[in-house]
Chain A
Amino acid sequence: NAGVTQTPKFQVLKTGQSMTLQCAQDMNHNSMYWYRQDPGMGLRLIYYSASEGTTDKGEVPNGYNVSRLNKREFSLRLESAAPSQTSVYFCASSREPRAPGELFFGEGSRLTVL
């Protein structure tokens, strides 16, 4: 069982460069999420998608865009990376919208912006 798969696992960018983090789930879940994890701050929600075709801002959406390509895939794009976006990014999915139940997480993508 693959579960939630994120690519790439590691990425180094220069300030101003753009990149897209890819996420795919094979559990037929309706809802998908992007979180960032920073030391001492836990996980903070960037964007979520309650269902295919919908996306909504979370707690820290500035500097990011998302695309729910289909039911399986939810990508996160940084148009012009900044050092403040250095973080570990986690994609997650859940059966129910807005995660009243269990979230299933990918293994994370570590991004460094120089």
Chain B
Amino acid sequence: AQSVTQPDIHITVSEGASLELRCNYSYGATPYLFWYVQSPGQGLQLLLKYFSGDTLVQGIKGFEAEFKRSQSSFNLRKPSVHWSDAAEYFCAVVLNDMRFGAGTRLTVKP
């Protein structure tokens, strides 16, 4: 079945530490790939997207993601987390329509 999986429900990192959020998809073809962020009480905001070409994609707020076809993954990374990065992060894929993962909630410790 076609699906998008975020294996980590909740991650806690210290401010200044690096971050990696995982996303795996199960589709026959390579879909378009997205990462969105949701701050408390807000809608979702696009962080970055991958359609084709360079597999390392730069986004807003210092985030980047790497597409790995062999692993069907599109993991989100940030070298140094700031307290304001605390939010919920959603991976999404588009093949015929947009499907979202269940989300990963990020807590940042001072």
How many residues in A have their beta carbons less than 8 Å from beta carbons of B? Answer: 24
Q: Name the B residues within 8 Å of A48 (CB-CB).
A: 97
The answer to whether A45 touches B98 (Cβ under 8 A) is yes
Interface residues of B (CB under 8 A from A): 9, 32, 34, 36, 41-46, 49, 90, 94, 96-103
Q: Name the A residues within 8 Å of B46 (CB-CB).
A: 102-103
Q: B90 — nearest CB in chain A belongs to which residue?
A: A42
Q: Mark A31-42, 1 if CB is under 8 A from B, else 0.
A: 001010000111
The answer to whether B44 touches A42 (Cβ under 8 A) is no
The DSSP consensus for interface residues of chain B is strand
Interface residues of A (CB under 8 A from B): 4, 33, 35, 40-45, 48, 58-59, 90, 92, 98-103, 105-108
The answer to whether A42 touches B100 (Cβ under 8 A) is yes
